[in-house]
Amino acid sequence: MIIATAQVQGKKAPVLIRKETVEAMNRGSVIIDLAASTGGNCECTENDKSIVVGGVTVIGKSDFPSDMPADASHMYSNNMINFLKLLITREGKINLDFNDEIIKGTCLSHKGEILNDRIRESLKI
């Protein structure tokens, strides 16, 4: 899943995802383009429409956040703050404690080594 949100006020949204990229994605992939109203970050985006391109669903819905329940937004923001508290000390230093299962489970790689078991298995390393 890709969530694209890049917009510059008063200008056309920058294209970040070319049609060729969409066509190369796995079937069942989803792109949510929150910049659809200003042209979209994906070349395939159509404003206020959901379309399928080669098995990839492209959702061009700029007002997506307004459809979200406020409680879901608050829960997500609380989760992000609590996650950042694990990663950043009170002094503002990054704390990568790989003995913490949340930090280890969310870290894909560190210092050139793939730490995430799922990624390592999918790459057959």
Using CA atoms, how far apart are residues 117 and 125, in angstroms rounded to an integer?
A: 10
pLDDT in tens, 56-70: 999 998 887 677 777
Quick one: three-class SS letters along the chain? CEEECCCCCCCCCCCCECHHHHHHCCCCCEEEECCHHHCCCECCCCCCEEEEECCEEEEECCCHHHHCCHHHHHHHHHHHHHHHHHHECCCCCECCCCCCHHHHHHCCEECCEECCHHHHHHHCC
| Mean residue pLDDT across the chain | 91
* Amino acid 116: pLDDT: 84
Contact 53, 18 (CB under 8 A): no
pLDDT in tens, 3-22: 898 988 889 999 999 999 99
* Spatial CA neighbour of 42 closest among 5, 67, 96: 5
Using CA atoms, how far apart are residues 100 and 82, in angstroms rounded to an integer?
A: 13
The pair of structure tokens assigned to 60 is 């061009």
Domains of the chain: 2-66 (3.40.50.720), 68-123 (no CATH)
* Amino acid 125: pLDDT: 62
* Amino acid 69: pLDDT: 77
Residue by residue, pLDDT tens for the chain (125 residues) are 898 989 888 899 999 999 999 999 999 999 999 999 999 999 999 999 999 999 999 999 888 767 777 788 789 899 999 999 999 999 999 999 999 989 988 898 999 998 888 888 888 76
